[in-house]
Protein backbone atom coordinates (compact mmCIF):
# COMPACT_ATOMS: atom_id res chain seq x y z
CA UNK A 1 0.00 0.00 0.00
CA UNK A 2 1.15 3.53 -0.78
CA UNK A 3 2.13 5.80 2.07
CA UNK A 4 -0.64 8.27 1.26
CA UNK A 5 -3.25 5.54 1.42
CA UNK A 6 -1.96 4.50 4.85
CA UNK A 7 -2.15 8.09 6.04
CA UNK A 8 -5.71 8.28 4.77
CA UNK A 9 -6.58 5.09 6.63
CA UNK A 10 -5.06 6.37 9.84
CA UNK A 11 -6.91 9.67 9.49
CA UNK A 12 -10.23 7.96 8.78
CA UNK A 13 -9.64 5.72 11.77
CA UNK A 14 -9.04 8.59 14.15
CA UNK A 15 -12.13 10.43 12.91
CA UNK A 16 -14.25 7.33 13.39
CA UNK A 17 -12.74 6.96 16.84
CA UNK A 18 -15.22 9.57 18.09
CA UNK A 19 -18.14 7.20 17.58
CA UNK A 20 -19.40 4.60 20.02
CA UNK A 21 -16.92 1.98 21.17
CA UNK A 22 -18.01 -1.65 21.41
CA UNK A 23 -15.61 -2.29 24.26
CA UNK A 24 -14.36 0.16 26.84
CA UNK A 25 -10.90 -0.56 28.15
CA UNK A 26 -11.33 1.99 30.93
CA UNK A 27 -8.15 3.83 30.13
CA UNK A 28 -7.23 7.27 31.32
CA UNK A 29 -5.41 9.86 29.22
CA UNK A 30 -3.41 8.55 26.30
CA UNK A 31 -0.20 10.03 25.01
CA UNK A 32 1.22 10.00 21.52
CA UNK A 33 3.72 7.18 21.11
CA UNK A 34 5.92 7.41 18.01
CA UNK A 35 3.77 10.15 16.46
CA UNK A 36 0.79 7.82 16.20
CA UNK A 37 -2.27 9.34 17.86
CA UNK A 38 -4.04 6.65 19.84
CA UNK A 39 -7.64 7.31 20.81
CA UNK A 40 -8.89 6.38 24.26
CA UNK A 41 -11.71 4.53 22.52
CA UNK A 42 -11.76 2.07 19.69
CA UNK A 43 -13.63 3.01 16.49
CA UNK A 44 -16.93 1.31 15.72
CA UNK A 45 -16.38 0.64 12.04
CA UNK A 46 -13.55 -0.14 9.68
CA UNK A 47 -12.56 2.79 7.46
CA UNK A 48 -14.11 2.61 4.00
CA UNK A 49 -11.51 2.54 1.25
CA UNK A 50 -12.64 4.69 -1.69
CA UNK A 51 -13.14 3.19 -5.13
CA UNK A 52 -13.62 -0.43 -4.11
CA UNK A 53 -16.52 -2.18 -5.81
CA UNK A 54 -17.70 -5.12 -3.73
CA UNK A 55 -17.15 -8.47 -5.42
CA UNK A 56 -18.91 -11.03 -3.22
CA UNK A 57 -16.92 -14.04 -2.04
CA UNK A 58 -18.31 -17.32 -3.28
CA UNK A 59 -15.86 -20.21 -2.88
CA UNK A 60 -14.40 -21.28 0.45
CA UNK A 61 -17.28 -20.91 2.89
CA UNK A 62 -16.64 -23.57 5.52
CA UNK A 63 -19.73 -23.53 7.74
CA UNK A 64 -21.05 -27.02 8.39
CA UNK A 65 -24.11 -28.28 10.28
CA UNK A 66 -23.15 -29.47 13.78
CA UNK A 67 -22.95 -33.20 14.39
CA UNK A 68 -22.41 -35.30 17.50
CA UNK A 69 -18.71 -35.86 18.20
CA UNK A 70 -17.57 -39.42 17.46
CA UNK A 71 -15.51 -39.28 20.68
CA UNK A 72 -16.20 -39.52 24.37
CA UNK A 73 -14.78 -36.96 26.81
CA UNK A 74 -13.16 -37.45 30.22
CA UNK A 75 -13.00 -34.46 32.58
CA UNK A 76 -9.52 -33.75 33.96
CA UNK A 77 -10.24 -30.68 36.06
CA UNK A 78 -12.00 -27.31 36.28
CA UNK A 79 -10.52 -23.89 35.71
CA UNK A 80 -11.61 -20.28 36.02
CA UNK A 81 -11.87 -18.48 32.66
CA UNK A 82 -8.90 -20.28 31.11
CA UNK A 83 -7.31 -19.01 27.93
CA UNK A 84 -4.79 -21.60 26.77
CA UNK A 85 -3.29 -24.99 27.53
CA UNK A 86 0.17 -26.45 26.87
CA UNK A 87 1.36 -30.00 27.38
CA UNK A 88 4.78 -30.36 29.00
CA UNK A 89 6.86 -32.61 26.77
CA UNK A 90 8.27 -34.77 29.57
CA UNK A 91 4.86 -36.03 30.70
CA UNK A 92 4.85 -33.73 33.74
CA UNK A 93 1.38 -32.41 33.08
CA UNK A 94 -0.65 -29.72 31.38
CA UNK A 95 -0.17 -26.00 31.97
CA UNK A 96 -3.37 -23.94 31.96
CA UNK A 97 -3.48 -20.15 31.81
CA UNK A 98 -6.39 -18.35 33.43
CA UNK A 99 -7.11 -14.88 32.08
CA UNK A 100 -7.08 -13.28 35.55
CA UNK A 101 -3.31 -13.89 35.66
CA UNK A 102 -3.12 -17.35 37.22
CA UNK A 103 -1.03 -20.20 35.83
CA UNK A 104 -1.93 -23.73 36.85
CA UNK A 105 -0.33 -27.12 36.37
CA UNK A 106 -2.52 -30.19 36.16
CA UNK A 107 -0.29 -33.19 36.92
CA UNK A 108 -0.89 -36.70 35.57
CA UNK A 109 -2.02 -37.81 39.05
CA UNK A 110 -4.90 -35.34 38.82
CA UNK A 111 -3.57 -32.77 41.27
CA UNK A 112 -3.69 -29.12 40.26
CA UNK A 113 -1.09 -26.63 41.51
CA UNK A 114 -0.86 -22.89 41.10
CA UNK A 115 2.45 -21.86 39.55
CA UNK A 116 3.87 -18.86 41.41
CA UNK A 117 5.86 -16.04 39.84
CA UNK A 118 3.57 -15.09 36.94
CA UNK A 119 4.10 -11.48 35.84
CA UNK A 120 1.42 -8.90 36.63
CA UNK A 121 -1.17 -8.88 33.85
CA UNK A 122 -3.69 -6.25 32.72
CA UNK A 123 -6.92 -8.14 33.23
CA UNK A 124 -10.35 -7.32 31.92
CA UNK A 125 -12.21 -7.63 28.63
CA UNK A 126 -10.20 -9.87 26.35
CA UNK A 127 -6.94 -9.08 28.14
CA UNK A 128 -5.07 -10.97 30.81
CA UNK A 129 -2.78 -13.96 30.85
CA UNK A 130 -2.99 -15.38 27.34
CA UNK A 131 -0.99 -18.11 25.60
CA UNK A 132 1.64 -20.47 26.99
CA UNK A 133 4.12 -22.80 25.31
CA UNK A 134 7.02 -24.99 26.35
CA UNK A 135 10.23 -23.95 24.59
CA UNK A 136 11.70 -26.29 21.94
CA UNK A 137 14.61 -26.89 24.34
CA UNK A 138 12.37 -27.38 27.40
CA UNK A 139 13.79 -30.81 28.28
CA UNK A 140 17.23 -29.27 28.74
CA UNK A 141 16.55 -25.70 29.90
CA UNK A 142 13.00 -25.83 31.39
CA UNK A 143 12.08 -22.65 29.48
CA UNK A 144 8.50 -21.67 28.81
CA UNK A 145 7.03 -18.70 26.95
CA UNK A 146 3.90 -16.83 27.91
CA UNK A 147 2.00 -13.95 26.35
CA UNK A 148 -0.18 -11.53 28.23
CA UNK A 149 -1.73 -8.09 28.30
CA UNK A 150 0.49 -5.67 30.16
CA UNK A 151 -0.53 -2.35 31.72
CA UNK A 152 1.19 0.82 30.64
CA UNK A 153 0.62 4.51 31.28
CA UNK A 154 -1.46 4.79 28.09
CA UNK A 155 -3.42 1.56 28.26
CA UNK A 156 -2.59 -2.07 27.70
CA UNK A 157 -0.32 -3.83 25.22
CA UNK A 158 0.75 -7.35 24.33
CA UNK A 159 3.92 -8.67 25.96
CA UNK A 160 5.86 -11.91 25.53
CA UNK A 161 7.94 -13.31 28.37
CA UNK A 162 10.29 -16.24 28.80
CA UNK A 163 10.74 -17.96 32.15
CA UNK A 164 12.11 -21.08 33.76
CA UNK A 165 9.57 -23.54 35.13
CA UNK A 166 10.67 -24.90 38.49
CA UNK A 167 8.51 -27.79 39.68
CA UNK A 168 10.75 -28.84 42.52
CA UNK A 169 10.82 -25.76 44.72
CA UNK A 170 8.88 -27.83 47.26
CA UNK A 171 8.90 -31.61 46.93
CA UNK A 172 5.41 -33.03 46.62
CA UNK A 173 5.33 -36.58 48.02
CA UNK A 174 1.65 -37.43 47.76
CA UNK A 175 -1.51 -35.85 46.41
CA UNK A 176 -2.91 -33.33 46.93
CA UNK A 177 0.23 -31.31 46.37
CA UNK A 178 0.26 -27.92 48.10
CA UNK A 179 -0.29 -24.93 45.86
CA UNK A 180 2.84 -22.93 45.33
CA UNK A 181 5.00 -26.02 44.84
CA UNK A 182 5.69 -24.86 41.30
CA UNK A 183 7.09 -21.49 40.31
CA UNK A 184 8.44 -19.43 37.44
CA UNK A 185 11.95 -18.10 37.88
CA UNK A 186 14.15 -15.94 35.60
CA UNK A 187 11.06 -14.20 34.18
CA UNK A 188 12.14 -11.85 31.38
CA UNK A 189 9.92 -9.84 29.03
CA UNK A 190 11.56 -10.39 25.64
CA UNK A 191 9.08 -8.64 23.34
CA UNK A 192 6.49 -5.87 23.62
CA UNK A 193 4.05 -4.68 20.96
CA UNK A 194 4.21 -1.14 22.29
CA UNK A 195 1.36 1.05 21.00
CA UNK A 196 -0.40 0.87 24.36
CA UNK A 197 -4.03 1.86 24.25
CA UNK A 198 -7.62 0.66 24.25
CA UNK A 199 -9.27 -2.42 22.77
CA UNK A 200 -9.40 -6.17 23.07
CA UNK A 201 -8.12 -8.61 20.44
CA UNK A 202 -4.56 -9.04 21.71
CA UNK A 203 -3.80 -12.22 19.78
CA UNK A 204 -0.69 -13.52 21.55
CA UNK A 205 -0.64 -16.96 19.96
CA UNK A 206 2.80 -18.62 20.24
CA UNK A 207 4.10 -21.24 17.78
CA UNK A 208 7.62 -22.56 17.18
CA UNK A 209 8.98 -23.37 13.76
CA UNK A 210 9.38 -27.12 13.11
CA UNK A 211 13.17 -26.80 13.47
CA UNK A 212 12.72 -25.15 16.87
CA UNK A 213 14.81 -22.11 15.94
CA UNK A 214 12.10 -19.46 15.57
CA UNK A 215 9.04 -18.26 17.40
CA UNK A 216 5.92 -17.11 15.58
CA UNK A 217 3.74 -14.68 17.52
CA UNK A 218 0.37 -13.25 16.54
CA UNK A 219 -0.42 -9.68 17.53
CA UNK A 220 -4.05 -8.61 17.22
CA UNK A 221 -5.10 -5.19 15.92
CA UNK A 222 -6.75 -4.28 19.25
CA UNK A 223 -10.06 -3.43 17.52
CA UNK A 224 -8.33 -0.35 16.09
CA UNK A 225 -8.53 -1.53 12.44
CA UNK A 226 -5.93 0.62 10.67
CA UNK A 227 -2.79 -0.57 12.53
CA UNK A 228 -3.09 -3.89 10.66
CA UNK A 229 -2.07 -1.98 7.49
CA UNK A 230 0.52 0.26 9.14
CA UNK A 231 3.99 -1.28 8.73
CA UNK A 232 5.27 0.73 11.72
CA UNK A 233 2.78 -0.62 14.26
CA UNK A 234 3.26 -4.05 15.81
CA UNK A 235 -0.48 -4.77 15.63
CA UNK A 236 -2.48 -6.89 13.18
CA UNK A 237 0.61 -8.88 12.19
CA UNK A 238 2.23 -12.26 12.50
CA UNK A 239 5.83 -11.96 13.67
CA UNK A 240 8.74 -14.34 13.20
CA UNK A 241 11.21 -13.89 16.03
CA UNK A 242 14.33 -15.54 17.36
CA UNK A 243 13.92 -17.45 20.61
CA UNK A 244 15.21 -14.27 22.31
CA UNK A 245 12.31 -12.22 20.91
CA UNK A 246 14.34 -10.37 18.26
CA UNK A 247 13.61 -9.97 14.53
CA UNK A 248 14.55 -13.26 12.85
CA UNK A 249 17.12 -13.23 10.03
CA UNK A 250 15.46 -14.20 6.75
CA UNK A 251 12.27 -12.26 7.44
CA UNK A 252 10.97 -10.58 4.26
CA UNK A 253 11.73 -7.03 5.49
CA UNK A 254 14.57 -7.90 7.88
CA UNK A 255 16.87 -5.21 6.46
CA UNK A 256 14.36 -2.43 7.24
CA UNK A 257 14.69 -2.78 11.00
CA UNK A 258 12.00 -1.94 13.57
CA UNK A 259 8.57 -3.52 13.34
CA UNK A 260 9.07 -4.34 9.66
CA UNK A 261 12.11 -6.51 10.41
CA UNK A 262 10.00 -8.69 12.71
CA UNK A 263 6.98 -8.91 10.40
CA UNK A 264 6.22 -12.18 8.64
CA UNK A 265 2.74 -11.22 7.35
CA UNK A 266 0.33 -8.32 7.81
CA UNK A 267 -3.31 -7.32 7.42
CA UNK A 268 -4.56 -9.66 10.14
CA UNK A 269 -7.32 -9.01 12.62
CA UNK A 270 -6.78 -11.41 15.50
CA UNK A 271 -5.25 -14.87 15.37
CA UNK A 272 -5.57 -17.25 18.29
CA UNK A 273 -4.32 -20.28 16.36
CA UNK A 274 -1.37 -21.16 14.14
CA UNK A 275 0.00 -24.55 13.09
CA UNK A 276 2.57 -25.99 10.71
CA UNK A 277 1.46 -28.72 8.31
CA UNK A 278 3.74 -31.73 7.66
CA UNK A 279 4.74 -30.13 4.33
CA UNK A 280 6.13 -27.10 6.20
CA UNK A 281 3.29 -24.73 5.30
CA UNK A 282 2.10 -22.37 8.00
CA UNK A 283 -1.64 -22.05 8.62
CA UNK A 284 -3.33 -19.44 10.78
CA UNK A 285 -6.94 -18.88 11.63
CA UNK A 286 -8.24 -15.53 12.74
CA UNK A 287 -11.29 -14.04 14.33
CA UNK A 288 -12.86 -11.72 11.82
CA UNK A 289 -15.58 -9.15 12.36
CA UNK A 290 -19.22 -10.25 12.13
CA UNK A 291 -19.15 -13.24 9.79
CA UNK A 292 -15.53 -12.88 8.74
CA UNK A 293 -13.56 -15.68 10.42
CA UNK A 294 -10.72 -16.99 8.27
CA UNK A 295 -8.27 -19.83 7.75
CA UNK A 296 -5.23 -18.47 5.94
CA UNK A 297 -2.21 -20.08 4.32
CA UNK A 298 0.56 -17.82 5.60
CA UNK A 299 3.20 -16.75 3.11
CA UNK A 300 6.06 -14.42 4.07
CA UNK A 301 5.55 -10.76 3.26
CA UNK A 302 1.92 -11.13 2.22
CA UNK A 303 -0.93 -8.84 3.21
CA UNK A 304 -4.13 -10.61 4.33
CA UNK A 305 -6.39 -7.61 3.76
CA UNK A 306 -7.79 -6.51 7.12
CA UNK A 307 -9.47 -4.01 7.47
CA UNK A 308 -9.75 -3.19 3.75
CA UNK A 309 -11.55 -6.40 2.85
CA UNK A 310 -13.33 -9.14 4.80
CA UNK A 311 -15.90 -11.76 3.92
CA UNK A 312 -17.75 -10.49 6.98
CA UNK A 313 -18.94 -7.00 7.86
CA UNK A 314 -18.71 -4.57 10.76
CA UNK A 315 -20.69 -5.43 13.90
CA UNK A 316 -22.77 -2.30 13.25
CA UNK A 317 -23.89 -3.80 9.94
CA UNK A 318 -21.76 -1.42 7.86
CA UNK A 319 -20.49 -3.53 4.97
CA UNK A 320 -16.83 -4.31 4.32
CA UNK A 321 -16.00 -5.31 0.74
CA UNK A 322 -15.37 -9.04 0.37
CA UNK A 323 -11.92 -10.43 -0.35
CA UNK A 324 -12.39 -10.84 -4.15
CA UNK A 325 -12.84 -7.03 -4.34
CA UNK A 326 -9.08 -6.70 -3.88
CA UNK A 327 -7.40 -9.71 -5.49
CA UNK A 328 -3.99 -8.19 -4.74
CA UNK A 329 -4.59 -9.02 -1.06
CA UNK A 330 -4.34 -12.63 0.12
CA UNK A 331 -7.76 -14.23 0.43
CA UNK A 332 -8.59 -16.83 3.09
CA UNK A 333 -8.58 -20.44 1.94
CA UNK A 334 -11.62 -21.06 4.15
CA UNK A 335 -13.98 -18.64 5.87
CA UNK A 336 -16.97 -18.78 8.16
CA UNK A 337 -20.06 -16.61 7.85
CA UNK A 338 -21.80 -16.71 10.31
CA UNK A 339 -18.70 -16.55 12.48
CA UNK A 340 -17.62 -19.49 14.62
CA UNK A 341 -15.08 -17.41 16.65
CA UNK A 342 -12.06 -19.71 16.24
CA UNK A 343 -9.75 -20.05 19.23
CA UNK A 344 -7.10 -22.79 19.38
CA UNK A 345 -5.78 -24.84 16.48
CA UNK A 346 -3.47 -27.85 16.17
CA UNK A 347 -2.21 -29.97 13.31
CA UNK A 348 -2.88 -33.43 14.70
CA UNK A 349 0.12 -35.71 14.26
CA UNK A 350 -0.47 -38.45 16.82
CA UNK A 351 -1.21 -42.16 16.59
CA UNK A 352 -4.05 -42.36 19.11
CA UNK A 353 -6.58 -41.06 16.58
CA UNK A 354 -5.17 -42.30 13.25
CA UNK A 355 -8.24 -41.04 11.36
CA UNK A 356 -7.33 -37.46 12.35
CA UNK A 357 -3.66 -37.60 11.44
CA UNK A 358 -2.70 -34.63 9.25
CA UNK A 359 -5.92 -32.72 9.97
CA UNK A 360 -6.24 -29.24 11.41
CA UNK A 361 -8.49 -29.20 14.48
CA UNK A 362 -9.96 -25.80 15.37
CA UNK A 363 -11.84 -25.01 18.59
CA UNK A 364 -14.47 -22.29 18.49
CA UNK A 365 -16.73 -20.30 20.77
CA UNK A 366 -19.72 -18.62 19.14
CA UNK A 367 -20.48 -21.73 17.13
CA UNK A 368 -19.17 -23.83 19.97
CA UNK A 369 -17.34 -26.94 18.97
CA UNK A 370 -14.47 -28.50 17.10
CA UNK A 371 -13.94 -28.19 13.36
CA UNK A 372 -11.88 -30.72 11.43
CA UNK A 373 -10.12 -29.43 8.31
CA UNK A 374 -8.43 -31.83 5.91
CA UNK A 375 -5.42 -30.34 4.14
CA UNK A 376 -4.84 -31.09 0.49
CA UNK A 377 -1.74 -28.99 -0.10
CA UNK A 378 -3.13 -25.45 -0.39
CA UNK A 379 -6.76 -26.58 -0.72
CA UNK A 380 -8.15 -27.25 2.74
CA UNK A 381 -11.63 -28.74 3.22
CA UNK A 382 -13.73 -28.48 6.37
CA UNK A 383 -15.14 -31.99 6.77
CA UNK A 384 -16.73 -32.00 10.23
CA UNK A 385 -18.06 -29.67 12.87
CA UNK A 386 -18.54 -31.50 16.17
CA UNK A 387 -20.81 -29.91 18.74
CA UNK A 388 -19.37 -30.38 22.24
CA UNK A 389 -22.12 -28.29 23.80
CA UNK A 390 -19.75 -25.68 25.24
CA UNK A 391 -17.58 -22.81 24.06
CA UNK A 392 -14.08 -24.19 23.57
CA UNK A 393 -11.05 -22.02 24.28
CA UNK A 394 -8.10 -24.15 23.26
CA UNK A 395 -6.83 -27.51 22.08
CA UNK A 396 -3.50 -29.30 22.59
CA UNK A 397 -1.97 -32.59 21.63
CA UNK A 398 -0.35 -34.81 24.28
CA UNK A 399 2.95 -36.60 24.04
CA UNK A 400 1.23 -39.92 23.23
CA UNK A 401 -1.23 -38.40 20.75
CA UNK A 402 -3.91 -37.50 23.30
CA UNK A 403 -6.22 -34.62 22.43
CA UNK A 404 -7.05 -32.13 25.17
CA UNK A 405 -9.76 -29.46 24.98
CA UNK A 406 -10.52 -26.68 27.41
CA UNK A 407 -13.80 -24.87 27.73
CA UNK A 408 -14.35 -21.12 28.10
CA UNK A 409 -15.70 -19.21 31.10
CA UNK A 410 -15.90 -19.79 34.84
CA UNK A 411 -15.82 -23.42 36.00
CA UNK A 412 -14.51 -24.49 32.57
CA UNK A 413 -13.69 -28.15 32.12
CA UNK A 414 -10.38 -29.51 30.87
CA UNK A 415 -11.35 -32.50 28.74
CA UNK A 416 -9.51 -35.41 27.18
CA UNK A 417 -10.95 -37.08 24.08
CA UNK A 418 -11.33 -40.84 24.06
CA UNK A 419 -12.51 -43.18 21.33
CA UNK A 420 -16.18 -44.07 21.80
CA UNK A 421 -16.68 -47.59 23.09
Q: Whole-number minimum distance, CB 304 to Ca ion, in Å? A: 4
C-alpha dihedral (252, 255, 260, 266), degrees to nearest 10: -10
Q: Whole-number minimum distance, CB 319 to Ca ion, in Å? A: 6
**3-state DSSP assignment of residue 144:** strand
Report how far residue 111's alpha carbon sits from residue 109's, in angstroms, rounded to the nearest whole number: 6
Q: Whole-number minimum distance, CB 310 to Ca ion, in Å? A: 5
Residue with smallest beta-carbon separation from Ca ion:
305
**3-state DSSP assignment of residue 254:** helix
Q: What backbone torsions phi and psi does residue 296 show, to the nearest 5 degrees?
A: -115, 140
Considering the rule CB under 5 A, would residue 228 count as an interface residue with Ca ion? Answer: no
Q: Whole-number minimum distance, CB 17 to Ca ion, in Å? A: 22
Report how far residue 359's alpha carbon sits from residue 356's, in angstroms, rounded to the nearest whole number: 5
Query: Interface with Ca ion by CB under 5 A: which range of 18-26, 74-82, 255-263, 317-325?
Result: 317-325
* Residue 386, number of CB atoms within 10 A of its CB: 18
E-strand ranges in 80-212 read: 82-87, 94-98, 102-106, 112-116, 129-134, 143-152, 155-166, 182-192, 203-208
> What's CA 179's distance to the chain center, in Å?
29
Number of chain positions touching Ca ion (CB under 5 A): 5
Binding mask 375-414 for Ca ion (x = CB under 5 A): ----------------------------------------
Question: Is 337 within 8 Å of 61 (Cβ atoms)?
Answer: yes
Q: What backbone torsions phi and psi does residue 70 show, to the nearest 5 degrees?
A: -80, 20
Question: Is 238 within 8 Å of 265 (Cβ atoms)?
Answer: yes
Q: Whole-number minimum distance, CB 290 to Ca ion, in Å? A: 9
Query: Interface with Ca ion by CB under 5 A: which range of 85-93, 308-316, 376-384, 399-407?
Result: 308-316
* Of 132 and 295, CB closest to Ca ion: 295
Query: Interface with Ca ion by CB under 5 A: which range of 23-31, 93-101, 318-326, 380-388?
Result: 318-326
Report how far residue 346's alpha carbon sits from residue 239's, in angstroms, rounded to the nearest whole number: 19
> What's CA 278's distance to the chain center, in Å?
21
Considering the rule CB under 5 A, would residue 305 count as an interface residue with Ca ion? Answer: yes
Q: Whole-number minimum distance, CB 219 to Ca ion, in Å? A: 15
Question: Is 292 within 8 Å of 310 (Cβ atoms)?
Answer: yes
Considering the rule CB under 5 A, would residue 98 count as an interface residue with Ca ion? Answer: no
DSSP 213: S
* Of 196 and 311, CB closest to Ca ion: 311
Binding mask 20-59 for Ca ion (x = CB under 5 A): ----------------------------------------
Report how far residue 272's alpha carbon sits from residue 201's, in angstroms, rounded to the nearest whole number: 9
* Of 27 and 284, CB closest to Ca ion: 284
* Of 150 and 221, CB closest to Ca ion: 221
Binders of Ca ion among residues 285 to 304 (CB under 5 A) are: 304
* Of 227 and 305, CB closest to Ca ion: 305
Considering the rule CB under 5 A, would residue 360 count as an interface residue with Ca ion? Answer: no
For the sheet containing 293-298, what is the strand order? 273-276, 282-286, 293-298, 334-336
Residues in the chain: 421
- DSSP string spanning 323-339? GGG-TTSPPPSEEESS-
Binders of Ca ion among residues 340 to 359 (CB under 5 A) are: none
Q: Whole-number minimum distance, CB 326 to Ca ion, in Å? A: 10
Considering the rule CB under 5 A, would residue 322 count as an interface residue with Ca ion? Answer: yes
Q: Whole-number minimum distance, CB 39 to Ca ion, in Å? A: 24
* Of 136 and 288, CB closest to Ca ion: 288
Report how far residue 399's alpha carbon sits from residue 395's, in angstroms, rounded to the nearest whole number: 13
For residue 340, what are the contacts with CB-CB under 8 A and spacing of at least 6? 63, 293, 362, 364, 365, 366, 367, 369, 371, 385
Query: Interface with Ca ion by CB under 5 A: which range of 3-11, 72-80, 305-313, 364-372?
Result: 305-313
Q: Whole-number minimum distance, CB 46 to Ca ion, in Å? A: 10
Among 320, 346, 360, 362, binds Ca ion (CB under 5 A): 320
Q: Whole-number minimum distance, CB 276 to Ca ion, in Å? A: 20
Sites of contact with Ca ion (CB under 5 A):
304-305, 313, 320, 322
Amino acid sequence: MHKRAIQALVLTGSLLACSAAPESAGNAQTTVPANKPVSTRVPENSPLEPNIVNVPATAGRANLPPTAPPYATVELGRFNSPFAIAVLPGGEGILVTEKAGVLKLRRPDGTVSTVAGVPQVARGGQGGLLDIAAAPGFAADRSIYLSYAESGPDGSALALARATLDLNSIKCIRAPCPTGDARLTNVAVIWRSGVNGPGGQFGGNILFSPDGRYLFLSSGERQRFTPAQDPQQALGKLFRLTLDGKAAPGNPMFAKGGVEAMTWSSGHRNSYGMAFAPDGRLWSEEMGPRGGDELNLILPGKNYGWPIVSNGDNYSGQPIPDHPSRPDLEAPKLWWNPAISPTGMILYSGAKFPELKGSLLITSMSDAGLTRVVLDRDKPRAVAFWDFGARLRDIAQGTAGEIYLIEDGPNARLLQLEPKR
